Chains A and B, each alone.
Chain A
Amino acid sequence: MSAQTPDGTDNAVAPASADTIGSRMRRVFTSPTFITFAFLLLVMVLFSVMAPGKFGTITNFKLLAQNVAILTVVSVGTTFVIATGGIDLSIPSGIVLGEVFAVKALSMIPVGGGTAVDLNADQSGIGYILIALAFSLAAGTLVGLINGVVVAYMRVPAMLATLGTLGGGLGVALLMQNGVNIATYAINPVSSASLLFGIPNLIIIAVIVAIVGIVMLNLSVFGRHTLAIGSSSEAARRVGIKVERHLVLVYTLGGFASGFGGFLSLGYFSTTSVAGHSTDNLQAITAVALGGTSLFGGVATVFGTIVGVWIPAILQNGFIIMGVQPYWQMVAVGAVLILAVWLDRIRRSSQGGR
């Protein structure tokens, strides 16, 4: 009864291309993540050869890894937001409010003649650190929650919604600390100490966050729905995914990561810093885009984001070590960013996607 198709097969769906090892390898090698990863390795080899004994040392890499740890944490969160096709410009606000909330909480705990803010690192304890952590996370989560509700339910474009919470959040932070940054050494142990094989805690934390991010994005139902919404929110809605609720969760996750970044930053720099994070959002977005995550949503890679965090850091570090004006790093990162996104576009249009 069933009619034969003109080409004599019953196949309604012919394979787009055979799933051979060759095609899979081609896909990997032409992926933007692989290209930027190769670029990162190439740059690292170049610097190691050109600055022997200086660049390619464990000490240097430990330092680098510590320097990028906070950006890693917030960029992993941003990867999820961008995976939905959204954007989060409010990262500095989440970080700074995270710092300020923590400091304010500590300043309300009387210790001796003063408050917990005045404690030195060696006088502090796990209790104070946990309180600071809780308030940092609460601050970031609140910013993210507002972003999510405004974007998902009030349907304000993400760029403007998070631009609003960026300015608003920084304003609140300045109000809370009367415009003056507050120093504290109470949570220094978070960054200065090492709980594992002499590896600084910041590095361990960044690695854990990266692994959790990779697992969540690729292996969890949450990650799958995040990508589906970014790919086609209408398709996601039709299969019963609660798109608005999921978007709120994703933006809240992004804010949570920013708040955590604020906590780590307070531990690392020993002070709140309203002005010190003003380009963290652009750095995070750069890292995410460099890594191969599509700004249109639907395609995302946390591993790529890690690569994207490291490229600017390595370039800057290498240029400084080699005595090149470090400002060249900004030029190089800008060029690499445009190149990476352009290559991605070519690849997508050639495969019929967006």
Chain B
Amino acid sequence: MTARVDGTIAPAIAAESIIKNFNHVHALRGASFEAFPGEVTALVGDNGAGKSTLVKILAGTLQPDGGTIRIDGREVTFADPVAATALGIETVYQDLALAPDLDAAANVFLGREIRRMHFFHDQAEMRRRTAKSFADLGVGLVQDLRVPVASFSGGQRQSVAIARAAMWARHVIMLDEPTAALGVIQTAKVLDLIRSIRDRGLAVVFISHNLPQVLEVADRIEVLRLGSRVARFRGGEVNVDQLIAAISGAFSNEVAA
């Protein structure tokens, strides 16, 4: 639906030749990656391919040893996750995303509370905005915004985390295996949510091991292998077998970096 010819528009976020070493382990060896606004870009690869490392670098959690990060074509560096957040990049992790004892609104606004007289938080306003934002996203209303998110199911919690990211992300939202712990129905709901975020014009980066799921939701797919990008596909032009070939090293359409 959002067909785009690569190159006519600057990527919302781009990594160029990123290098990251952990002592003697070369986690990323000149890895590149691009995600465009209004698209879901899936990042796939085998365990140890460097997906999570790359996302952590794009989220500001890790600092690269070499290479360039660009936001809308402009070179940036992230000293910490807050710097990435300030540029409109939000990341959702598979776990530990929410404070289980706080309610949904408190979690959505955690660290970014609406304040009154600087010292107090404005819980009523935060609840109101959370309810509105959830409704806009089609995250079916958490009608009971007062209960701790601990009482939600795993899928509901993940939806709150993704909706929070969608509320704050202005450019890019990165999801690190958001459905790994979810059941079938909950996964479908989360994928719907991802599509609705994409349709708002954000660049969505989606990491998953589940290739059918990737093919279902992704507009573009980039494949990492042994720390660098080995293949790029458009969503409709690839099947599971081709993806597996790329992930395992049997296929590459990438000029060596």
Contact = CB atoms under 8 A, between A and B. Distances in A.
Given A2-B196, A19-B144, A227-B101, A235 B96 contact: yes
B100 A353 contact: yes
Interface stretch (A9-17, A95-103, A168-176): A9-17
B22 interface: no
Contact of B188 (A5, A24, A299, A353): A5
Contacts of A228: 99, 102, 106, 110
A143 B122 CA distance: 33
Interface in B119-140: 119-121, 123, 134, 137-140
Contacts of B32: none
Contact of B150 (A3, A297, A353): A353
B146 A5 contact: no
B121 A221 contact: yes
A341 interface: no
A276 interface: no
Interface stretch (B6-14, B154-162, B202-210, B222-230): B154-162
Interface string B68-82: 000000000000011
A230 B96 CA distance: 13
B195 A2 contact: yes
B212 interface: no
Contacts of A2: 138, 192, 195-196
Contacts of A19: 143-147
Contacts of A3: 188, 191-192
Contact of B120 (A11, A221, A225): A221
Between B110, B142, B190, the greatest number of chain A beta carbons within 10 A of the residue's beta carbon is seen for B110
B195 to A, nearest CB: 5
Contacts of B152: 13, 16, 352
A264 B52 CA distance: 55
B1 interface: yes
A220 B116 CA distance: 9
Contact of B151 (A16, A231, A235, A240): A16
A58 interface: no
Contact of A236 (B111, B112, B113): B111
Given A15-B143, A224-B106, A10 B138 contact: yes
A354 interface: yes
A221 B81 contact: no
Contacts of A225: 110-111
B138 A12 contact: yes
Interface residues of B, number: 55
A273 B116 CA distance: 43
B85 A12 contact: no
A232 B190 CA distance: 23
A230 B100 CA distance: 10
Contact of A240 (B85, B138, B139, B153): B85
Contacts of B100: 231-232, 298, 353-354
Contacts of A240: 81-82, 85, 111-112
A2 to B, nearest CB: 5
B150 A352 contact: yes
Between A2, A17, A18, A24, the greatest number of chain B beta carbons within 10 A of the residue's beta carbon is seen for A2
B126 to A, nearest CB: 10
A122 interface: no
Nearest to B1: A1
A351 interface: yes
Contacts of B148: 299, 351, 353
Contact of B156 (A9, A14, A220): A14
A238 B97 contact: yes
Given A3-B188, A6-B188, A224-B113, A15 B141 contact: yes
Contacts of B191: 3
Given A219-B120, A221-B120, A11 B99 contact: no
B134 to A, nearest CB: 7
Contacts of B144: 15-19, 23
B115 A221 contact: yes
A222 B119 contact: yes
B142 A13 contact: yes
Sorted from nearest, which 4 A-B pairs have the closest CB atoms?
A11-B140, A298-B101, A239-B111, A353-B150
10 contacts: A12-B189, A17-B144, A219-B123, A222-B119, A228-B102, A228-B106, A238-B96, A240-B111, A294-B101, A299-B101
Given A6-B188, A235-B107, A239-B111, 10 more contacts: A5-B189, A11-B138, A13-B159, A16-B147, A16-B153, A16-B156, A231-B100, A240-B81, A298-B101, A351-B150
Interface of B: 1, 81-82, 85, 93, 96-102, 106-107, 110-113, 115, 119-121, 123, 134, 137-148, 150-153, 155-156, 159-160, 163, 185, 188-193, 195-196, 199
